[in-house]
Each structure stands twice: as structure tokens, then as C-alpha cells.
Structure 1
Amino acid sequence: MADTAPAKAWEDITEPESYDWNAILDGLNTYLRLRTTPIGMKLFETVEEMEAIKRIRRPGSIHTTDQIVGQASRLGWTVGITVEDLVGAQCGAVIGLHPQDDEWLGGERMKGVWYETETDTAAHQAAMEVVPYGRYKAMAVSPLAAGRLDPPDIALIYATPAQMILFINGLQWAGYRKLEWGCVGESSCADSWGRALKTREPSLSIPCFAERRYGGVMEDELLMAIPPKFLPKVIEGLGHLSANGLRYPIPPYGIQSDARAGLGASYSDK
């Protein structure tokens, strides 16, 4: 059956006037059975804007950005920060709250810890995708269900590899685009929220050691940072896949079974 209307190109997907967060979250949980709370992240040009968010928490001690994200995704908190709340330049620079100056670009503190030489550390810093410094003064995270960052700049979705590939399949259902990402290694928050905030494109990452040690990210989780305007497209695509029998959890077929019956259920003429 031919499509009734051509799919929108990705660049033509616009921000809706409002979001039905309940419908989006119901869709994600129905199709993917997520175990970690989907959250939003938003940057603010003034601290006062951030502090005006309803029931926002402010840290009482120094944290990594990973911990702040974890407080929203693992505890369901709405938390706002400035650069003074963060442990070092690396965290602040990724979200544009600290200058990406010569000292930061050198990455001296990583020498002998994550990378062998100063050349290696500088190459790593240069490879990171970050929000340019100067515009923003604060950041907040909050569960999407709370609706307090309406809309957030990006949504953060933690999922297992099996859940994540179906999420991506849903995103690619209509108006197909090949998705390509990179991996900077340590500081891979630059691959997820750094890249998504900078480019406003869906950005997948393998969470790094720091995200798992300090942010509570589980060892089988990947992270998708995605502008929320894409989420209705993902849900719609997942619905079509589900109707075709392509669902989570993905049941093992058996590595010694005759594959023709299983493949025939999906690819035979309808």
C-alpha cells in the first residue's frame, strides 16, 4: 500500500506548539519498556530563568554533570546548576558554561590517566563536540513527565542495546536517514548531550567510565540525546514496527532452527 503523504525530511520537522508528554512516555514505555526515567535538559541564558522553574533543586555540594543528570533520571528530581556547582572545567565546557580556552583544549589533567601524551589529550579535547561558550549561564534537568522544562532543548533516553536499536528503527521508519556518530572515549557526554545541544540532531553514545561511576548509568545502557521534536516520529515508527511483529523484547529464534519460518512471518507477501 502506498503512503498517503510523503514523509517529512528531517530538517522540515518543526517544534510543535505543545507536547503531549503523557502520550510520548506511554508510547516509549509501551513499545520499549524503559526502566530508566526519560528526562529533559535545558540551557538558560540567565540564572534567574533557571531558578524560576517550579520546585527546582539546587545542589548543596560540588558534583559532576553526570551526577546531576543521574539525579533526574534515577531519582526523578528537577535540578538546576551553574558552573560553580560543577567539579571542573570538563563538565562545564561540554554544556557551554566554561570557556573552551587553551588550558581546557590542552587537557593536561588527562595525561597519563586516560591518554599517553599531551598530543593525545589535546587531540581528544579537540574531538569533543561541545556547546560554544558565552551564551548560557545555567542548565536544568527534569523528568519529561514533570513538564517543567517545556520544552527541553533535548531529551535523554537510557536504554539497552536491544531497546535502542528499535528506538532508532522507529526514528528511521519514514523519511529514512542513515545515522552516524562517533566515540571520543572518556568524556562521552560530548557524544550525547554535548553533540545534541550543539547540533540539535539525535546523538547516540556509549556512556563512559565517569557517567557509570558518578552518574549511576548501568553497564548495559546506551544513551540517546535527542531534540524532543523527533519523539512523536519515533513513537509513530515504533507503532508501525509493532504492527509488523517487530517488538521489544526481541524473542530469540534459536541459532540452530530453520530460519525460513521466522523470516517468512515478516517478509512473505501480505
Structure 2
Amino acid sequence: MDPILNVRHLEIKYGEMPAVSDVSLELMPGEVLGVVGESGSGKSTLIRGIMGLLGAGSQITEGDICFQGKKLLDLEQRERRKLMGQQMMMIFQNPQASLVPIRTVEKQIYEAISEGSRKRAGVLNRKKVREQALEAFAKIGLKGGEQILKSYPFQLSGGMNQRVCIAIAMMQRPQLLFADEPTSALDVTVQSQVLDELVKLKSLSGTAIVIVTHNIGIVERIADKAAVMYQGRLVEYGSKDEVIQHPREEYTKKLLNAVLHLERE
């Protein structure tokens, strides 16, 4: 079986300053990779670079990114966009990056699913989409689903908007999903529900997932592989058990010790 994602010697710069340096990793279909590190370590920049979502002034200066054998950096922008929202998706840490404040949640869900349906030449049924949305809401602890569908994002809390974005991703079942701190705005109980649903998405749909987090406990819970980033570099990479139980790098040991310290408190 070939990797669904293969990143080789990736370098990303903000102006002249390196933000990600010489990062190589791969992901198999249905595999979960946890990317962990403190703020500013380059985690989010890495996945934004892979998705083609870098901001102004930043660019990929070295390396290759292959998705299902296609070199993404060689594709025209139009071809690359076709992959987004159908085969590759991203859950942002800030849901405002995904949701339009002046459209109802129901309309945005329908538009997102409709776009994917057109790309697959499928037939879309509004009633069915609504039913699927309510089912997805219930799975991740969003109560009052009917009212949420009628609401605008600005009428909902940040945590509720984040769960709406997660529900949209779950409904579309992409082949590759990037999740940037998807549970950071959620309480502990809801975090657990969301992580459980991500695992189900992997199991039922074969979705490969890259989850970015500062919490190595999340990596321990749901990941197959772990990547530890520090100052833009991949300082440790391997199976979850190998990295967590037998860390080689001092930085990884410090992250693990911090988790153990918090658990004891």
C-alpha cells in the first residue's frame, strides 16, 4: 500500500526567516499522525503549507508534497483547489476561518456538502443533509440542533462553532483530514466526544488524519504515529509508542514530564 501523503524535506519561510526546516514525513490511508510541540514550533505552518493555505509573505522554498502520488506543488491552483473540500479538508483552530458570519449554519452546511456532491457527480437531498447534520451534532455533544441550524455563527459560542466545523468535516468523509488544535476551545467532556468521533471517522471511512496539538495526551490517545516539532524542525518522529514510551530527544522528554506533572496535580 502506498502512502496517501508523502512530505519530503519541506522548507517554509516567512520572508527570509525559516518557519519550517527540512521536514519529512508520510501517512498511510486510515492512519492518524499526531504533530505535537509548543506554540511557535511550526506545527500549524506545516499543515497550512501542505494544504496550500499559507498567508501573504510566506512560501514553500524547498521540498515536495505528494498526495496520492500527485505532486501538489506542481499542480495549477485550480487543480489543487479541486482536491480541497472533497479529498482533503482542514479543521481550523479558529472556526471564523471557515464559517461566514452572515449565512445560517444550515445554509453553510448545505453549501459545503453540495460542493462536494457536485465534484462527485452525486445527487443532493436537502432533507437528508439536514438529518445527517443533526445526527453529526448529536454525536459531538451539540444540543438543540434544530436551533443551531437556524442560527448565524455570531450567535453561537466559539466552542459551538468549532463543533459545527467538525461536524461538516465528519459529514464529508475526506480521504485526508488536517485538524489544527480542534479541541482547544472545548471542555473536557466534549473533547472526549470529538476525539471519539475522529477515531470513528478513521475506522468507518478510512480517513487519514493529521492532528496538530500542544497536548501530547491527545496524541497518546488517538494517534498511530507521533511527530514532535521544535523551532520549525522535526526532532522526533515514529510510532506513537516508540516516541512516547522511548523518547530519544530531551525536548520530547520535557513535554512528557509536563503532562505527567499536570496529571499529578
Write 1 or 2 for the structure with the bigger share of strand. Answer: 2
Considering Cα pairs closer than 8 Å and 6+ residues apart, tell me whether 1 or 2 has the greater RCO.
Answer: 2
Say whether the fold is shared (TM-score over 0.5).
no
Larger radius of gyration, structure 1 or 2?
A: 1
